[in-house]
Amino acid sequence: MNETLEQLRASVDGIDSQLLELLSKRAELVHQIGQVKESQGVPKFEPEREKEILDRITGLNKGPFPDSTLKHLFKEIFKASLNIQQEDHKRQLLV
Amino acid sequence: MNETLEQLRASVDGIDSQLLELLSKRAELVHQIGQVKESQGVPKFEPEREKEILDRITGLNKGPFPDSTLKHLFKEIFKASLNIQQEDHKRQLLV
């Protein structure tokens, strides 16, 4: 493998570590949001808020991903976060 | 909406902007990697490299996402990047 490929891959690894960190922080925040909502008795899933986030992201998008791809990736992130919240809820019910 | 919820959401928005930036940078790097590989005549899709990235990420994972969720999210990111490379290739064929 030549040096350039090695270097590019090292950069990808660096970005991936940062992505992991941000995704984990995001999940913590969503968990806190879920707790605030629970204390206020409001529903955890709010489709309007999701739409707002997607509109914001595609508004900021300068490529190279097309908007449709970013929407797909962020929806997967939403789904993953919602799964954690549902696990939390199940755990609460079991306690 | 109370202040706490507003603040938490502002933090999520901040993280999402960073995620967008990192995902876009990552796509640029993957595009460059694709060009290097093309010049060397090696296949663009390398399952071992994907496995290496997933092992690295789950090795660094401290939660709250389970490893399985992170693997799923990163596979979606791989797929999105590969789609861009395939589009590049199609464009080259058309030129």
pLDDT (tens digit, 9 = 90+) per residue, A46-78?
Answer: 889 999 999 999 999 999 999 999 999 999 999
Measure the CA–CA gap between B74 and A20, rounded to whole angstroms.
Answer: 9
Looking at residue B95, what is its pLDDT? 66
3-state helix, strand, coil in chain B (%, to 5): 85, 0, 15
Q: Which two tokens stand for residue A49?
A: 């808020």
| Cis peptide bond N-terminal to B66, omega within 30 | no
**ipTM computed for the complex:** 0.91
CATH 1.10.274.10 fits B3-94, yes or no: no
Res. A45 pLDDT band, cuts 50 70 90: confident
The amino acid sitting at B52 is E
CB contact under 8 A, B13 and A74: no
Closest CA to A63 of B39, B49, B88: B88
Closest CA to A34 of A95, A93, A87: A87
End-to-end CA distance of chain A: 54
CB contact under 8 A, B64 and A29: no
Measure the CA–CA gap between B37 and B39, rounded to whole angstroms.
Answer: 5
Of B16, B24, B65, the CB nearest to A80: B65
On chain A, the residues whose CB falls within 8 A of the CB of B9 are 33, 49
Our CA angle for B71, A56, A15, nearest 5°, is 35
Res. A1 pLDDT band, cuts 50 70 90: low
Question: How far away is chain B from the Cα of A33, in angstroms, using its nearest Cα?
Answer: 6
On chain B, the residues whose CB falls within 8 A of the CB of A77 are 19, 73
- Select from B1, B33, B87 the residue whose CB has the most chain A CBs within 10 Å, as the one to mutate to test that interface: B33
pLDDT (tens digit, 9 = 90+) per residue, B76-94?
Answer: 999 998 887 777 667 767 6
What are the residue ranges spanned by the domains of chain A?
3-94
Alpha carbon A76 to its chain centroid, in Å, reads: 7
- Select from B7, B13, B15, B36 the residue whose CB has the most chain A CBs within 10 Å, as the one to mutate to test that interface: B15
| Cis peptide bond N-terminal to A64, omega within 30 | yes
CB contact under 8 A, A40 and B2: yes
CB contact under 8 A, B9 and A49: yes
DSSP calls for B6-34 = HHHHHHHHHHHHHHHHHHHHHHHHHHHHH
CB contact under 8 A, B65 and A24: yes
pLDDT (tens digit, 9 = 90+) per residue, A13-32?
Answer: 999 999 999 999 999 999 99
CB contact under 8 A, B74 and A16: yes
More confident residue, B37 or B90: B37
